[in-house]
Amino acid sequence: MKKKLLPIALIMIAVLMTACSTRDSKEQKDKGQNPVSSGENTGPADDNSDAASKGQKEREISGWIVYWDSDILTELSDRGKNIGTLCYFASYFKEDHSLFLPEEVKDTYSKVKQKYGKERFKSYLTFVNDIRMNDGTSKLKDTELLYQLLETKNSRDKHIADILSMAGEDSYDGIEIDYEAIREDKTLWHYFTQFAEELYQQASKKGLKVRILLEPNAPVDEAAFPKGPEYVIMCYNLFGYGTQPGPKADKPFLEEMVQKMKGFHNVNFALATGGFDFEEGGAVKQLTEEEAILIKKDYGAETQRDDGSRCVVFSYTDKAGKNHEVWYADKATIDYWLQLLENNGEYKVSLWRLGGNVTVEP
């Protein structure tokens, strides 16, 4: 009997040791997920890097190139291996409401084609409802312009013809519509959805794809959005201009956007790099990751990582004695947001934007 008990006892000891080891390992991971790392250690707050990397390779990733920061060839070479689509931002309007494409957009598009050829990236030309006035000032997100462009069948036909002409001139693969600030204007949404359907029909005849950007407050359950276009929902600016300090996105916000778009079949989720510098008194400045890191170094600020968003956060007092709070996204932040989307089964992602990224690599 004693001879039988000894092996059993040894087995029980081995099982207990394995369980303890597993528990210790779990506890170590749990400790790694606690909010806040301080100082220069702003690495991932959890151990999801392998899963995130796996998910990234399975996604269709798009990135925006903006006309005011067009020197992105080095970043594209260093960090763009998973990007398959480039959206060139943007064509806007002159005061007479005719379309205008900045030379910087044309130049960047040409340089990318020269370096990578036509097949490496799908290319979209983005159209925005901004107006450049003759005196050099701008009217941003102008909805009066949209009424003039979209209110009648004739005005929509002319606008669509102008869009197709501009996109076809340089052989873009697709068209992206970024018409914002419609908000709760049901009449304008009606005109817009008619325009989207007619644009998609006409673009398809010419072999051009169509992407439609939607703000987080878009009435997706009320407006009659047509099937066919790819719908890109902006999952950013949860905090920013006119708000208290905070992240561009966090877990509840991203999950809300995923649920919002459940009724769409061709969905893309847009995330934002960089962040904001919130100054006491209400002034807010947008920052790239590179700019945020420079400020942090200049003022010797200690960083923390926010638990709900995985954003990097730090505070400083400027030379005028004003207090600032900075929130920005780095690689660990973007990886976490991508992981949240992957957990919901969504793989098509866009990044606003290329340029000024130091660690971010989609």
Q: What is the pLDDT of residue 35?
A: 36
Considering the domain boundaries, does residue 38 fall inside one? no
pLDDT for residue 53 is more than 80: no
Considering the domain boundaries, does residue 71 fall inside one? yes
CB 259 within 8 A of CB 341: no
Percent of the residues in the chain that have a pLDDT greater than 70, as a whole number:
83
Considering the domain boundaries, does residue 296 fall inside one? no
* Mean predicted confidence (pLDDT) in 35-63: 49
The predicted-structure confidence for 71-119, as pLDDT tens digits, reads as follows: 899 999 999 999 999 999 999 999 999 999 999 999 999 999 999 999 9
DSSP for 47-83, written as a single string: S-HHHHHHHHHHSEEEEEEETTS---HHHHHHH-TTE
Considering the domain boundaries, does residue 284 fall inside one? no
Q: Given pLDDT bands bounded at 50, 70 and 90, which one contains residue 136? A: very high
Domain count, the chain: 1
Q: What is the pLDDT of residue 344?
A: 87
Q: What is the pLDDT of residue 59?
A: 66
Instruction: Count Cα neighbours of 297 within 13 Å in the Cβ-side half-sphere.
Output: 6
| Residue 71, CA distances (Å) to 65, 119, 274, 294, 352 in order | 9, 21, 17, 19, 15
**CA 94/CA 132 separation, integer angstroms:** 5
Report DSSP state, residue 97. S
CB 188 within 8 A of CB 143: yes
pLDDT for residue 7 is more than 80: no
| Residue 165, CA distances (Å) to 116, 158, 172, 208, 222 in order | 24, 11, 11, 11, 32
Q: What is the pLDDT of residue 16?
A: 41
Q: Residue 124 forms beta bridges with which residues?
A: 87, 174
pLDDT for residue 19 is more than 70: no
For 182-189, the CB contacts below 8 A with 24+ separation are: 182/143, 182/146, 182/215, 182/218, 183/217, 184/219, 185/143, 186/219, 186/222, 186/223, 188/143, 188/146, 188/147, 188/150, 189/219, 189/222, 189/223
Mean pLDDT is lowest, of 39-53, 289-303, 339-353, for 39-53
Considering the domain boundaries, does residue 322 fall inside one? no
The predicted-structure confidence for 184-214, as pLDDT tens digits, reads as follows: 999 999 999 999 999 999 999 999 999 999 9
- What CATH number is attached to the domain comprising 225? 3.20.20.80
pLDDT for residue 302 is more than 50: yes
The predicted-structure confidence for 255-290, as pLDDT tens digits, reads as follows: 999 999 999 999 999 999 999 999 999 999 999 999
Cβ burial of 99 (10 Å; 0-12, 13-18, 19+) is middle
**Domain residues for 127?**
61-234
Q: Is 180 left (phi over 0), alpha (psi -120 to 50) or beta?
A: beta
Rounded to two decimals, what is the model's pTM? 0.84
Rg (CA), the chain: 24
Considering the domain boundaries, does residue 26 fall inside one? no
Considering the domain boundaries, does residue 253 fall inside one? no
Place of tokens 């910087």: 104
pLDDT for residue 5 is more than 50: no
Q: What is the chain's percent helix, strand, coil content, to nearest 5?
A: 40, 25, 35
The predicted-structure confidence for 216-244, as pLDDT tens digits, reads as follows: 999 999 999 999 999 999 999 999 999 99
Among 203, 170, 204, 173, smallest CA distance to 101 is for 170
pLDDT for residue 15 is more than 50: no
Q: Across all residues in the chain, what is the average pLDDT?
A: 88
Q: Given pLDDT bands bounded at 50, 70 and 90, which one contains residue 171? A: very high
Considering the domain boundaries, does residue 82 fall inside one? yes
